[in-house]
Structure 1
Amino acid sequence: MAGRNGRTVRDLRRANRTAVLQRLYFDGPLSRFELGPATGLSSGSVSNVVADLVADGLVEEAGSVDSDGGRPRTLLRVAPASGHMIGVDVGETRVRVELFDLTLTELARAERPLAPQRHDVDVIVGHVRDGIAEVLATTGLPPERLLGAGIGVPGIVEHTADRGAVVHGQTIGWDAVPLEALLRAGSPLPDTVPCLIDNGAKTLGQAEMWFGAGRGARNAVVVLFGSGVGASLVTPEAEQGRAVEWGHLTVRVRGRRCRCGALGCLEAYAGAESLLARWREEGGRVPEGTDEETALTAMLAAAYPADGAAADPVALAVLEETAEYLGAGLSDLINLFQPERILIGGWAGLQLGARFLPAVRRHAVSYALRHPARKVTVDLGRLGPDAVTVGAAILPLADFFARGGRRPEPAPEYPVPAWRTALEERAPH
């Protein structure tokens, strides 16, 4: 039965469950007494919802605390083993698959390296399927127990009604790849387990906003600095984040050719792939036969030798120029979106780290308008190299919370009669 605002009793129950689950998840353990003010629910509603969640195995007791003159208050928390998610990072250098419990504690992982410039769709799909099967086998978890699998990918993700998630990854040669449908074919996951796909920069942003350096910010930009560069914008209007193709802003007219085919993109100057290419072009000794992460480590060692030896002037010059390009690119984000925080993550951003950050910050402020520049902080992300994978796992977790902690129900083979729906909504819960 729908009320005047169009919300049914079922909608209200789901919203109450979501409110209690999220407060316990982010701020718990909490007592029933504390949950009232934290959620805005009455004590009676809190008691009913908690009883419901305990019966479902989602919430458990976590000790007690003394109260003012009364009986000790029982603390409640989300039960870690009550749900599991898989997070997948389809990166530039490897495919990483991780299995988490409900509190995002890692239980198992599998990694598959990728050859440079090789993102064949069939290879990626095979790596993801095999990785999922491996982590499930390692833990013995039945696939139907999963709340879902989240997958972060490079490129633009289009969600379609007929083909599911379709990926437009121009820099890796993907043109309208129906990734969700390809993964479903022959997947170890049953159809009842959601498979959620989104841009990798967005999943990185989701992780930093939930658990990292973005917590508490209303407006933030989280930058993914890897082989290329991307960004996720988080605002009150887009709380789940919105991926922006920041790496393909033009920073130099008729400049270097980018992997996307255009000239002068930021990614042609600020991504790790282009950074190493420029070092090589200027006569730098880039290690042969190594992956990008190893080569970038060598470049940093050459530019900033630890033993007091003379720095490689070519490596140092390229890094300093890259810091200016990256700072200029951040100034565009500052001017356009006026964020409270800019956070830099991704394997290359973390590897360049604190040594690189002061120069990037200085250039960002110098190129930006003074007023928004005074209000923004530029820092490194806190979640390390697994942030994209954690953020990918948050996709099914956020979906689970939005449904009030209920798993998706199989679609009925025939229309459900209206009288049955009305009875379900009226039934006590």
Structure 2
Amino acid sequence: MKKTVMLFGMVVMLLTALSAALADRGESNNNGKNPNEFKLGVEVLLGDQKHLIEGKRVGLITNPTGVDQELNSIVDMLYNDPNVELTALYGPEHGVRGNAQAGEYVEFYIDETTGLPVYSLYGQTRKPTPEMLENVDVLLFDIQDVGTRFYTYIYTMAYAMEAAAENDKEFIVLDRPNPLGGQKVEGPVLDPAYASFVGNYPIPLRHGMTVGELAQLFNEEFDIGADLTVVEMEGWNRNMYYDDTRLEFVLPSPNMPTLDTALVYPGAALIEGTNISEGRGTTKPFELIGAPFVNSTEFAAALNELELPGVIFRAASFTPTTSKHSGVLSHGVQIHVTNKQAYKPIETGLHIVKTLHDMYPENFQFRAENSAGISFFDNLIGNGWIREAIENGVSVQEMENQWKAGLNEFKQIRREYLLY
């Protein structure tokens, strides 16, 4: 009897130890690091590197994504810190508080909470003027990017770096994760002839870099010459998507409400260069694609027949409340990403555009060309030849083959600036 009790006790002890070990493993991320060790750049700055800003007048470029892991605003943290002198705020597209729609002009104003001046970098100028920097020694940049070339915050950063260099101001980037991970690099590299505020440098559509890494690349490769410091994250590695961290997803802009939106955005946003709705004015922007003249069942079937990796398409109808086809019932698809590692957003986006073009030749249109013969689609994709290729019946595979050499060249340059 005693032997049975002893044996039972040993089994219980082993099971307890095994359970504890499994629990410990469950607390680990892909690389065996405890997510509790993860720190954003802002947390590293205020915890270990506050000397970078102490005794200096600080100007802050941020928006609602500028929060720590407890969702405390960097504006409030700096303003309420007795050892930090926060003197000015600067807002990108959509503003510091994120309440302006895409492309909406943002005015100068006084922040109600802090009483600080808020200078718009999406108003009369997209680059801080010397007058905007008079009361500043160092500029801080803390904004969540979404990993796509045509998302404008990275160019707000670059213009601010130029202004810092020209006015002898320090520039500090507080790094944040790339929501799409830091490994995959996809799509054509932008042709400088098609540079705009939705693509100002020759980088691919999915660049696979953090804002801190991009800041270093912009600074060196494009001769900005800013006095640049990147405050790195701790505990982030390149194979981590946003949901591999414990971060809450704070929408970076009004039409980027979820991580699912960010996943499809690099390809689905190409629809913005056409007369098809990209789902603005719905609860699923960039996931819903359609127009009044589309047959949703046939369109979904055509896309699913392609058997694209990591994605399926559901026939869907919707009525946008704003933007294209506002108030008009539209038909199309909802994009459902089933495997984010396998999913290829740019390939998928081009197949969507090409299929719409081929199925509805009398109704589908690219956005009109400007005086230089450039369509907004060209600005988004970063060249003029892909639009011509779609119109001439060239396959998506042939397009990918054509941009491969430029993409491989960028990958080599990119290696020099990776921090993680």
Which has the higher relative contact order, 1 or 2, with Cα contacts under 8 A spaced 6 or more apart? 1
Normalised to the residue count of structure 2, the TM-score between the two structures is 0.28
Structure 1 or 2: larger helix share?
1
